[in-house]
Structure 1
Amino acid sequence: MPLPFLTAERAFDAADDVALPFDDRERWRRPYRPGPWRVGVAALVLLIASFVMLSAVVIALTGALTGGTVCLLVGVLVIAAALRLLRMGVWVSARGLRRTGFLVTRTIPWAQVVSVRTAQQPVRWLGLPRTVQGQALLLVRRGRPQESAPPLLTTHNADFLSRATAFDRAADTLEAWADEYRQR
């Protein structure tokens, strides 16, 4: 079974001399693998969903169909939340840069991008209020103050915690996409 989220890093490894190793640039893709923290939390959420679905079957077999239906709907919502958690991140294509959050997805065309750069600054640890010193990939847009935009990636988010080389690769790839497409 092909796993498309794994092809980004393999293609990057296979073509070290090429900054953008993808043939189909119109397709949205994440230029890095989801991190172990994100995958681990999604696996735990799916484990909880399996228990909820099992309880839905047991409740339905006892004759309480409305309770079973409610449990089934809760299980489907938990599965959808786990899948959305895995889709979170930064995606790129020839059309622009897309930041996918848990509830909101924003697409920024390359024409609005002034620069994408790495900066040393305090960053949030795993998205929690606690901040630590780390690196962040910042997006500067036309006509927008830089302070208002949250960083695209950080060294301490769920994808790159304890994976400094993966952060460097992802930042370099996103900077290369920005350099190529914002000049067009």
Structure 2
Amino acid sequence: MLEVLTGRRALERDRTSGDRYLKDLVDEVEDCGSSAAAWRKQLDHRLTSGGAVEHSGCMQLVTLACRCLERKRKKRPAMTKESSCPPINLPPPLPQECSVEALSNQLSRLGPLEDSYLLTLLTHCHPLPPSLSSSLPPPLPPSLVHVRRMRVEGFSQYDLQSPAGSLKSGSLKSASPQPPDLYGVTEK
């Protein structure tokens, strides 16, 4: 419990000061005059920043953890006693629907990561209605559409059989095999 509250490991190894056990921190803080103020300094700032956790709830857990680390076994609280204590009032978690709605709302605002060559290729032959075409990016020139389609479908512009791996001579259209015509659109 103290590991979570302080953000430290149960055993910290340091070359200069040697091994430091987290249970020894309890003794150090108790030696200070105001233990509540000393424990507030020891709490992990990630818990307390932003109002994620109230200090009073943390202090209740610190008190319980210190009692569980008591040197004399008979002074430690019994688990049956601690489990029957009234629970700490926590704010109710957000409903899962709100979280899903918020996430889907954020995702719906994202645009496509990459232009689609197929949509551009189709708009050359079958123009879209003005209501849809105003929200689309400008179409690519036909030469770029062909090069992009070759890259996407795995056709290479390099001659892999030649020892130097040089660029094929001639145009890209005539040098590599034509990809299959998926949409009934033929290129000239």
- The normalised TM-score by structure 1 is 0.25
Structure 1 or 2: more strand by fraction: 1
Which structure: larger Rg?
2
Q: Which has the higher contact order (CA 8 A, sep 6+)?
A: 1
The structure that is helix-richer by fraction is: 2
